[in-house]
Structure 1
Amino acid sequence: MILPEIALKKGRQVVGHNIQSWAKQSKVCRGSLDSDIRCYGTERGLATQLREELAKEHVKDLSKQQKAKKEARAIDKDFFMSVLGSSATKREARSYLQRFTPSKDSQLKPKFVDTKPVRGNEVNLGGLYGPTAVEQSPQFIQQPDRIAKLPVESQLHIALVKLRAPQTLDDETLTGIGRTLSQLGRLGLISVVVLDCNVEATPVSGRQSREPDWRQLETAQANRLVAAIDGSGEADARLVDNVIGISESPGAPAYAQTKTHITLRKLLMTPLRRGIIPVIPSVGYTDVSQTAVPVDASDIVLALTKELAGIPSALLPDEDPNDTRDRLRALREEVSLDRLIILDPLGGVPALDRPNGYHVFLNMEQEFEPAKEQLQKVLQENEEEMSLGSESIKRKVTDLAMGNPFSKFAETEFGVAGRSVDAGSLPEIRSKSKTDTWHHLQNLQLVRSVLAMLPPSSSALLTTPEEAANSGKDVPFQAARVGTRRQRNPLIHNLLTDKPVFSSSLPVGRLGPQVVVTEPVSPAESITPTTFAKHGISVTIFPDPRISPWEPPMPGKSHLTLTDSQIDLPRLVHLIEDSFGRKLDVEDYLKRVDGRIAGVIIAGEYEGGALLTWETPPGVEDDGSPESRARMVPYLDKFAVLKRAQGSGGVADLIFKAMVRDCFPDGCVWRSRRNNPVNKWYFERSRGTWKLPGTGWAMFWTTPELSMDKQLFLDYEGVCRGIEPSWADNKAVLD
């Protein structure tokens, strides 16, 4: 009875409280009546007030929604204009979609299979229960014993980005970089950014000298970039400064054979899985004392490459080999490291023998060693100049700045362009040149080391922060030029096309101005200091023009034939037939080119090739005399690329570049059907073209100033008219 009485007492108190509250509300309503506000009851007045407040909130929400939609539309417009400005072809777009579209397996839901429970851990119950009773009894488990199909997550496509000297960039440039990285994420390529604030790096024994407050500098610049990415409104970023470990002694743990390593993979992968861009400063922590120490940014990039590529620093001591294989396979299937992006104020890899001053495309298989030797030579020459007199250095630098058409490279390397050099500034110029060349050499070596650990489909891009911040703005119209057009962002263009902004085989005159100009030049026309690098393929040239230049055949001297042991004739014939889609009359072709072959260029394992011959113009007797040999025309007889390699990998560019720069630098000639779709590609790379009257052929040549020599032009035309095709279908007459 006690409990009901307590409940009755409490109930009365609650009812009394409710009556008092109702009385207070009535007084409020009566007060509003005294204030000449019409109120016909408490409920109606409160409802009216509530409706007004809800209406105001609804208007505010609509305003916020409209504002958010406008901002989203602006972001989408900027994004899609950047994408469309990259001018991806249908083939390139199809290739991009194949690489970055999640597979159907990633969308499968897990399926469960009813299986008998695993009895490996059963308890011995004696004869109390039979085995049938145990198997048929209910089991309380959280998960099925066996899963037939595990959920497969889509593979992450990742780009490693190294940003050097961010403290020298203004907020606008850094904001542009953040916007570009966000757009790459929307296109399916999430970035991992490594900051390199060590502007005091010197080429002296590779030592790194840093300011006393280096850690505060690294953290501040990382926060700047995080804010720039977050401000884009398209992606989020996070400062991750606790994943880099440093081995303190040779007796380091087994998992850390290298000095710089990743301590915990999960700290890196968690934000990536959520679409968050990790920003990593050049800070590491020692394994034992957990002391913060400065780390070279290149070492961090290499450690990240090994981790993301699934390359173990060392094997676990007691792990089963099968488990090791499965674990490494799972790591490699989780991540695809597609790009290495180096944003350096110096831009791409310089090339002193190129009028534009930079390598447009680096085929690392073929061009790494020459590029490295060239930079080392520049570095050595700079050291030698340190011992020369001031006047000698002043004269050399001034001549380079004033007379060299590579003014852009001169400005980068020496800090001067089109101006005289003061003797007092020579030590600073020498130091800057040496340091810049050393940075170029380090970037080149980093690209080589990273690509060596990745599959051939991966690539590297080196450009300036200003180019990376380019969001595709319109440039003003200028008379006598191409007019208004959008700039291409090299990072987005490279992602969509897997190619550089400009083709490496294009003549430099097609890329932009080669000399110092006084009038303003549209940025869209200027040459971007960007280098695109791939592991690439080998290019073999028979005979090697570095040993002896290609010359017209001489009587009594041995010459190259297609039946030579160093040439695989069946594979060469297959290459030609696959590229042209026609059967070759091999016997007739060998008979026609025998004794006339100038050389053969082979790309990779016969993925592409070119066959060039020496042809005698009509009316010239082919007797081997000096006069006859002087009139022989270098002719591109066959230019072929396998269909599966067309439009990708830069195979055609590699062959054409080898032909015009190594084999025939003074020019050659070829012909093509007028309706050949490849003619646009030929037209962009030739010095001139001519539709042969009365024929279905178009003639192309790479010879400089051919129009100044009438006889040479007529010889070219005569050769192109007189060549007889050697196809098995005997279709000599063109469609």
Structure 2
Amino acid sequence: MKLNLPTCFSWPSSRRSRKGLTCLVRSPPNNSKPAFGPVDTVRRMSTPSASRAKKQALDRTTDPTDAAVVTLRLPQELSSDVLHGIAKTLSQLRVLGLTALVVVDGGAGADCRLLEDQALRLCEAIDSFAGPGSKMAGHVFSRRKRKTPASTPPGVVADTILVDDRGVLERALRRSVIVVMPSLARPDDISCRAPADANATTLALTRYLAGFPSEASSGTDDPASAPTTHPSARLASVERIIILDPLGGIPMTRRPHVPHRLINLEQEYDMLLQNLKAGASTCPETAGTGRPNAPNDNHAANLSLVKDTLTLLPPTSSALITTPFAAACTSSSTPPTAHRRPLLGFDSMVTTRRQRNPLLHNLLTNRPAFSPSLPLKRIQDEEDGSSQRVNSGSATLVKRGMPVTIYPDPRVEPWRFSKPTATRLRLTDDCFDLARLLYLIEDSFNRKLDAQHYLKRVNDNLAGVIIAGEYEGAAILTWELPVGVSEQDACAQRRFVPYLDKFAVLKTRQGCSGVADIVFNAMVQDCFPDGVCWRSRKDNPVNKWYFERSAGTCQLSASNWAMFWTTMDAKERSTTLQDYESVCRSVEPSWADKKHVID
């Protein structure tokens, strides 16, 4: 579908971003009739004909609406300006083809009236902008008793949340109406509604939109094990899960005030959840946001929620956790107000690099606002050194991602040089698929490798190997001896150089897949946190990427090599840089074409 854009709007520079937007953007239907009214009431009471039902089912199967499930936490604590900023962002997402369904979470102690008032407040803000408008759906969720196993302690009753919308969501999605749902559920058709856990309602909504049966009907608590219903039951293609929480993104373990930029669930979920729960058990502070648990408990709940929802969705779907203030961010230097609301359009979207709206940026690129492998200092320099703006404007992008295998496992024992008498890791060991590893290197570099020469050179000094996915990316790291230093002296003086020998990503996975970031982060965070060095040809187009992620670089004279390192204090240790240069000059390449001679 072709989208006519104003000439004043410019896309991101990434070609893949433009390509991805083309397949995602769907213009809202040009329908001047109200989304809901007497016509819908009459239609609901009558039974649709078989042909009409078949046509509607076919439409949902072949061309489902792209949707985002949004959880807005504690809207009662947000000012009108911030709420209007969020409403504007949701309206802009709709213009770009992504219709939001918002679950309103009032936190602990919220009653029905507060949740309904805040839902209406958000609807009014959305309706102030151009477009099909919004709809408050307050009777979507119901609560049913779940079948508990025999091992459940007496007196413990587990409930499950179901979606019973009576066609409201389907009609809204067809008309690109933003639906706002207070997190309320009723036990039956005649009982009053009561506040329900927003995580449970968000998960139930995602299951319903994705075409999965409810937990009550499937008889299982595991979202991944529940079989899908007929494809016609899928109401929407859920592209994004968005959590707007005042706590912001998931914090780093070593830097609790800095959020993760990207989380690879396949690799990091278990460890992150363990660290968050361990931190919550020792944290004396409380969130101070109306919820009784420590902040890390709430972060852990957010992480578990996105993991459970993404399990139901295709691998291309992702989740974004950020603050309501970041979601309200626009290209304007001042927040929108009720008295000064710019017209909805592309002219006020993300047009500068200074202030990136994480929701809009993620929709256009499916990437975090800043690359996850960039050092924090680089981001602070780009933002005029303001760490406060970085923390408030950053978001955590969560993807199902891919598994990362590291040999040897640094969680068991940190990487250290092993003495010659010790058992060494070799590329010919059974734990490696050597054929796939060699293919990965040759495909990434587009050059034929002299395998025998390469194995002879690295097998006796291999430090470790990082493998992403099914050999979609890899890093081979070695311990190198500086020229003129014996192995005995290097052991005594700890002068073995950690060297990145090969960094390879399949051509089909290069670009926005994030494989390179995943491998690089594993190298500098898990394997060599104290620093590593490598070299690259001076005319290598990847050097800009290397430069942004290194702590230092220099051009090696009388050669075609540029040297990079991540060791933060390398300049203060003159011997370290000398050893790095000695290794980068002396390592002999192993390419079969022998073109390395000119380097």
Specify the TM-score bucket, using the shorter chain as the normaliser: 0.7 to 0.9
Deviation per CA, 1:434-461: give whole Å up to 9, x if none.
4433322221211121112222111110
Question: Among residues 460, 469, 481, which one is paired with 2:319 in the alignment?
Answer: 460
Q: Equivalences for 1:112-191 in 2 at 5 Å?
A: 154-191=63-100
Q: 1: distance between equivalents of 2:147 and 2:491? A: 72
Asked if 1:227 is matched to 2:124, the reply is: yes
Comparing 290-299 with 582-591, greater Cα deviation is found at 290-299
SS across alignment from 1:511: helix
Q: 2: distance between equivalents of 1:179 and 1:535? A: 29
1:487–1:524 contact (8 Å) kept in structure 2: no
Cα 1:632–1:513 shift into 2, 3 Å: same
Q: 1: distance between equivalents of 2:544 and 2:170? A: 45
Deviation per CA, 1:312-338: give whole Å up to 9, x if none.
126699xxxxxx999622234x52111
Comparing 484-493 with 368-377, greater Cα deviation is found at 484-493
Cα 1:485–1:100 shift into 2, 3 Å: closer
Q: 2: distance between equivalents of 1:595 and 1:654? A: 27
Shift of 1:432: 7.8
**In structure 2, what is the equivalent of residue 246 of structure 1?**
143
SS across alignment from 2:380: coil
Shift of 1:264: 3.2
1:474–1:486 contact (8 Å) kept in structure 2: no
Q: 2: distance between equivalents of 1:368 and 1:490? A: 22
Q: 1: distance between equivalents of 2:593 and 2:257? A: 45
**In structure 2, what is the equivalent of residue 216 of structure 1?**
113
Asked if 1:556 is matched to 2:416, the reply is: no
Q: Equivalences for 1:668-707 in 2 at 5 Å?
A: 668-707=532-571
**In structure 1, what is the equivalent of residue 299 of structure 2?**
440
Comparing 282-291 with 345-354, greater Cα deviation is found at 282-291
Cα 1:312–1:599 shift into 2, 3 Å: same
Q: Equivalences for 1:274-673 in 2 at 5 Å?
A: 274-313=175-214, 328-332=230-234, 334-354=235-255, 357-382=258-283, 434-474=293-333, 486-512=354-380, 521=386, 528-621=393-486, 623-627=487-491, 630-673=494-537
SS across alignment from 2:85: helix
Q: 2: distance between equivalents of 1:590 and 1:668? A: 21
SS across alignment from 1:612: strand
Over the aligned positions, Cα root-mean-square deviation in angstroms equals 3.3
2:135–2:178 contact (8 Å) kept in structure 1: yes
Shift of 1:359: 1.5
1:161–1:343 contact (8 Å) kept in structure 2: yes
Deviation per CA, 1:609-639: give whole Å up to 9, x if none.
1000111111223x44555772221110000
Cα 1:446–1:315 shift into 2, 3 Å: closer
Cα 1:158–1:682 shift into 2, 3 Å: same
**In structure 2, what is the equivalent of residue 399 of structure 1?**
none
Shift of 1:292: 1.6
Deviation per CA, 1:675-733: give whole Å up to 9, x if none.
21111111110001111112111111001121112221111111111122111211114
**In structure 2, what is the equivalent of residue 89 of structure 1?**
14
**In structure 1, what is the equivalent of residue 167 of structure 2?**
266
TM-score by length of 2: 0.83
Which letter does structure 1 place at the counterpart of 2:20? S
SS across alignment from 1:488: coil
Which letter does structure 1 place at the counterpart of 2:544? K
Which letter does structure 2 place at the counterpart of 1:94? K
2:212–2:229 contact (8 Å) kept in structure 1: no
1:467–1:490 contact (8 Å) kept in structure 2: yes
Which letter does structure 2 place at the counterpart of 1:309? A
Shift of 1:607: 0.8
2:448–2:591 contact (8 Å) kept in structure 1: yes
Q: 2: distance between equivalents of 1:641 and 1:728? A: 20
Shift of 1:285: 2.2
1:611–1:637 contact (8 Å) kept in structure 2: yes
2:467–2:519 contact (8 Å) kept in structure 1: yes
Shift of 1:473: 2.2
Asked if 1:729 is matched to 2:593, the reply is: yes
Q: 2: distance between equivalents of 1:235 and 1:603? A: 44
Which letter does structure 2 place at the counterpart of 1:602? I
Shift of 1:673: 1.3
2:356–2:369 contact (8 Å) kept in structure 1: yes
1:229–1:235 contact (8 Å) kept in structure 2: no
Higher relative contact order (CA 8 A, sep 6+): 2
Deviation per CA, 1:115-174: give whole Å up to 9, x if none.
xxxxxxxxxxxxxxxxxxxxxxxxxx9989x99x97676321110000001111111100
Q: 1: distance between equivalents of 2:76 and 2:195? A: 17
Shift of 1:250: 5.6
Deviation per CA, 1:412-435: give whole Å up to 9, x if none.
x678xxxxxxxxxxxx89x98844
Q: 1: distance between equivalents of 2:292 and 2:106? A: 19
Question: Among residues 102, 110, 134, which one is paired with 1:237 in the alignment?
Answer: 134
Shift of 1:190: 0.7
Which letter does structure 1 place at the counterpart of 2:193? A
Instruction: Choose between structure 1 and 2: higher helix proportion.
Output: 1
Q: 1: distance between equivalents of 2:238 and 2:138? A: 21
Q: 1: distance between equivalents of 2:101 and 2:19? A: 26
Q: 2: distance between equivalents of 1:565 and 1:522? A: 46
Deviation per CA, 1:230-260: give whole Å up to 9, x if none.
1122441111112211225869xxxxx9621
Which letter does structure 1 place at the counterpart of 2:100? S
Which letter does structure 1 place at the counterpart of 2:97? G
**In structure 1, what is the equivalent of residue 43 of structure 2?**
none
2:402–2:468 contact (8 Å) kept in structure 1: yes
TM-score by length of 1: 0.68
Aligned pair count? 539
1:176–1:470 contact (8 Å) kept in structure 2: yes
Which letter does structure 1 place at the counterpart of 2:405? T
SS across alignment from 2:301: helix
1:356–1:527 contact (8 Å) kept in structure 2: no
1:614–1:632 contact (8 Å) kept in structure 2: yes
Q: 1: distance between equivalents of 2:103 and 2:457? A: 59
Cα 1:710–1:436 shift into 2, 3 Å: closer
Deviation per CA, 1:56-102: give whole Å up to 9, x if none.
xxxxxxxxxxxxxxxxxxxx87x975x75xx3511222133234469
2:185–2:195 contact (8 Å) kept in structure 1: yes
2:143–2:162 contact (8 Å) kept in structure 1: yes
Cα 1:288–1:274 shift into 2, 3 Å: closer
SS across alignment from 2:249: coil
Which letter does structure 2 place at the counterpart of 1:218? L
Q: Equivalences for 1:6-155 in 2 at 5 Å?
A: 84=11, 87-100=12-25, 154-155=63-64
> Structure 1 unaligned runs (5+)?
1-75, 103-140, 202-208, 252-256, 318-323, 386-412, 416-427, 476-483
Which letter does structure 1 place at the counterpart of 2:402? I
SS across alignment from 1:467: helix
Q: 1: distance between equivalents of 2:331 and 2:387? A: 13
